[in-house]
């Protein structure tokens, strides 16, 4: 070969191309980093090729990751975060601005970009800028300067945009810039000191309850303000991230039905895990009842601090609502909210642990568990990891409109084997954040190869 890109030929695999709304038996050929041919097989050629084996899909897009650089490189660096992304099949990630200092001015973005460049990773790093200066919630950041520097949206994530009036201004300014506000919906006066979803499990465990109303009030507020701003600025857009309750998703469902430009995502952990896990159960949400004690479902110690997350793991009905929202299009995307932490911050008493799950590398396995259980069609799952989040980004990715298996474009894809299970171990995670409740569990769908921008981002050791 003349160039320096990789060659790859995958024969008789299951291709999933959500951009074309198509899946089926096929073959791909990558030459020198370019996806030269995508061939769909039929008739006898397709015999024996099913969706349960090797799958080829476009590289995944994650709207919500925390990379911790600058400021907390012990928990994650840009380089380790991009390696984790590649291991998880993600080729585009959006970094949240809650670093130290916050990404509230172009200089911080330049530093993050330099770190991405120095890492050598071909995974695309996009940045979400802060809404308020220092994420302090008091003064609007220089949104125009951040937009000029290339951020793809604005958020004070880690926290909500506390002031309704700042949110109103931000939706208007960001709308004028053609960018979304990405909102972490939480009414903090209801969650101060809260530890776990307000419900039966928290009551039995003696943990302070985190009410659904805290999220739903914030979602209602945000949608109301959006409706107001739209009268002056029809380009205003709101994206609600990591929604976790049936009520929140219902508010979005109704807002969408009236034509409001609101989008949302759900996380793998909120659709597949429940608060039962804090009690020590380890069954998937669709097998859960909400009372793991009377079901004899306890298999681990209670109060595992790796389960502390914001918003908290909810009851089985809420997890089912996350899946239903994906199925009917209320949820546009699956986003990981990858939140790596050091052991010092995480291996402590449940109520003292910081919030967050290291999620980039387990997202595919968790989502495939839902697919395996018949709760989510494979094509819809891949859409929610690719074209769904890409549409929220509105083309602000180097892949622009081509998040699909596009012949002639630089290869940007993931190859995984649904028939192979792999065990999650601390050493096996590329992320510095080993804080996941899935350690020791076997997940379906081992990633074999990830190609990004025509280059190798990840190859499994024995692939
Ligand atoms: Zn958040």
Q: Rounded to the nearest whole angstrom, what is the distance from the C-alpha of residue 463 to the centroid of ligand 1?
A: 35
50-95 confidence digits (pLDDT tens): 999 999 999 999 999 999 999 999 999 999 999 999 999 999 999 9
Angle between helical axes of 212-230 and 164-176 (0-180°, round to 10): 50
For the entire predicted model, the pTM comes to 0.97
375, two tokens: 């709760």
CA angle, 19 as apex, 409 and 1 as ends, to 5°? Answer: 20
Q: What percent of the chain has pLDDT over 70?
A: 99
- What mean pLDDT do residues 15-42 have? 97
- What mean pLDDT do residues 145-150 have? 98
Residue 103: pLDDT over 70 = yes
**Among candidates 278, 312, 272, which has minimal Cα distance to 292?**
278
Predicted local distance difference test score (pLDDT) of residue 447: 98
327-339 confidence digits (pLDDT tens): 999 999 999 999 9
401-421 confidence digits (pLDDT tens): 678 899 999 999 999 999 999
**What integer best gives the mean pLDDT of the chain?**
96
Predicted local distance difference test score (pLDDT) of residue 432: 97
Predicted local distance difference test score (pLDDT) of residue 462: 76
Is residue 279 very low, low, confident or very high in pLDDT (cuts 50, 70, 90)? very high
Q: Rounded to the nearest whole angstrom, what is the distance from the C-alpha of residue 358 to the centroid of ligand 1?
A: 13
Q: Which residue matches tokens 């546009």?
A: 332
Cα–Cα distance between 319 and 325 in angstroms, integer?
10
Residue 45: pLDDT over 50 = yes
- What mean pLDDT do residues 102-123 have? 97
330-378 confidence digits (pLDDT tens): 999 999 999 999 988 888 899 888 999 999 999 999 999 999 999 999 9
Predicted local distance difference test score (pLDDT) of residue 401: 63
Is residue 3 very low, low, confident or very high in pLDDT (cuts 50, 70, 90)? low
Q: Rounded to the nearest whole angstrom, what is the distance from the C-alpha of residue 281 to the centroid of ligand 1?
A: 25
Residues whose CB is less than 8 angstroms from the CB of residue 403 and which lie 6 or more positions away in sequence, other chains included? 18, 19, 58, 59, 61, 386, 387, 390, 397, 412
Give the active site residues.
337
Predicted local distance difference test score (pLDDT) of residue 398: 85
Q: What percent of the chain has pLDDT over 90?
A: 94
Q: Rounded to the nearest whole angstrom, what is the distance from the C-alpha of residue 255 to the centroid of ligand 1?
A: 21
Is residue 1 very low, low, confident or very high in pLDDT (cuts 50, 70, 90)? very low
Q: Rounded to the nearest whole angstrom, what is the distance from the C-alpha of residue 40 to the centroid of ligand 1?
A: 40
349, two tokens: 């008493």
Cα–Cα distance between 145 and 148 in angstroms, integer?
5
116, two tokens: 């991405």
């Amino acid at each position: 070969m003349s160039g320096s890109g990789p060659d790859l030929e995958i024969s008789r695999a299951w291709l999933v191309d959500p951009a074309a709304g198509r899946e089926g038996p096929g073959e791909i050929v990558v030459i020198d980093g370019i996806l030269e041919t995508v061939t769909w097989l039929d008739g006898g050629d397709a015999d024996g090729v099913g969706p349960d084996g090797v799958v080829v899909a476009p590289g995944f897009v994650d709207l919500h990751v925390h990379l911790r650089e600058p400021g907390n490189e012990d928990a994650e660096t840009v380089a380790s975060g991009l390696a984790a992304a590649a291991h998880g099949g993600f080729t585009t990630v959006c970094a949240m601005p809650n670093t130290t200092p916050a990404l509230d001015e172009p200089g911080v973005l330049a530093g993050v970009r330099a770190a991405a460049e120095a890492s050598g990773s071909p995974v695309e790093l996009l940045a979400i800028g802060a809404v308020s200066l220092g994420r302090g919630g008091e003064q609007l950041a220089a949104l125009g300067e951040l937009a000029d520097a290339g951020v793809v949206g604005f958020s004070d994530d880690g926290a909500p945009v506390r002031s309704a009036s700042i949110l109103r201004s931000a939706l208007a300014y960001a709308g004028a810039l053609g960018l979304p506000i990405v909102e972490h919906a939480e009414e903090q006066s209801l969650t101060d000191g809260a530890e776990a979803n307000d419900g039966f499990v928290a009551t039995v465990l003696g943990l302070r309850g985190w009410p659904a109303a805290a999220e739903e009030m914030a979602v209602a507020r945000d949608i109301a303000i959006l409706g107001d701003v739209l009268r002056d600025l029809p380009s205003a857009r709101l994206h609600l991230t990591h929604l976790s309750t049936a009520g929140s998703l219902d508010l979005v469902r109704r807002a969408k039905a009236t034509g409001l430009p609101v989008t949302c995502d759900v996380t793998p952990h909120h659709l597949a895990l429940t608060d039962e896990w804090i009690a020590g159960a380890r069954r998937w949400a669709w097998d859960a009842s909400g009372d793991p004690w009377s079901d004899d479902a306890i298999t681990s110690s209670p109060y595992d601090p790796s389960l502390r997350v914001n918003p908290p793991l909810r009851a089985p009905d809420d997890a089912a609502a996350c899946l239903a929202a994906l199925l009917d299009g209320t949820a546009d995307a699956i986003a990981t909210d990858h939140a790596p932490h050091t052991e010092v911050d995480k291996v402590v008493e449940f109520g003292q642990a910081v919030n967050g799950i290291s999620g980039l590398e387990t997202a595919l396995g968790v989502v495939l568990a839902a697919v395996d259980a018949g709760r989510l069609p494979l094509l819809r799952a891949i859409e929610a990891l690719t074209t769904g989040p890409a549409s929220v980004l509105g083309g602000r990715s180097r892949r622009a409109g081509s998040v699909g298996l596009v012949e002639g474009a630089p290869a940007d894809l993931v190859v995984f084997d649904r028939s192979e299970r792999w065990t999650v171990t601390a050493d096996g995670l590329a992320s510095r954040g080993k804080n996941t409740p899935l350690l020791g569990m076997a997940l379906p769908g081992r990633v074999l190869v990830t190609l990004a921008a025509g280059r190798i981002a990840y190859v499994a050791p024995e692939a």
